[in-house]
Amino acid sequence: MTTDAAPAQSATWPRRDEHGLTDAERDGCLADIDRDGFTILPHLLPQDMIDRANAYIDERCARFDREEEDPGYSETDIVEHDPVFREFLLYLPSLQLSYDVFGPMFHLGQDKWTRKFRDEEGMWIRWHSDGPIGFPEVDGHAPLHTLRFGYCVSDTTHDDSGTLEVIRGSHRKRTLHARDSIRWRPFTGHRQDDFETDHVTVQGPAGTIVAFHNGIWHCSRNNITDIPRTIVYFQYTPCMLRPVHRAVPNPGDLSPYTEEERWLLHEPREPGGWIIGTDKHHQR
Q: Would you place residue 122 in the very low, low, confident or very high pLDDT band (cuts 50, 70, 90)? A: confident
Q: What is the pLDDT of residues 201-220, one digit of tens each?
A: 999 999 999 999 999 999 99
Higher pLDDT, 268 or 131: 268
User: How much is the mean pLDDT over the chain?
Assistant: 88
Q: What is the pLDDT of residues 154-170, one digit of tens each?
A: 999 999 999 999 999 99
Q: Is the pLDDT of residue 89 over 80?
A: yes
Confidence at residue 280, expressed as pLDDT on a 0 to 100 scale: 83
Per mean pLDDT, which range of 14-28, 172-186, 194-208, 213-227 is the poorest?
172-186
DSSP string, the chain: -EEE-PPPPPSSPPPGGGGPPPHHHHHHHHHHHHHHSEEE-SSPPPHHHHHHHHHHHHHHHHHHHHH-SS---EEES-TTT-HHHHHHHT-HHHHHHHHHHH-S-EEEEEEEEEEE---SSSPPEEEE-S-STTS--BTTB-----EEEEEE-S---STTS--EEEETTGGGS--TT-BSSTT-PBP----GGGGTTTEEEE--STT-EEEEETTS-EEE----SSS-EEEEEEEEEETTSPPSSS-SS--S--TTS-HHHHHHTT----GGGGTT--TTGGG-
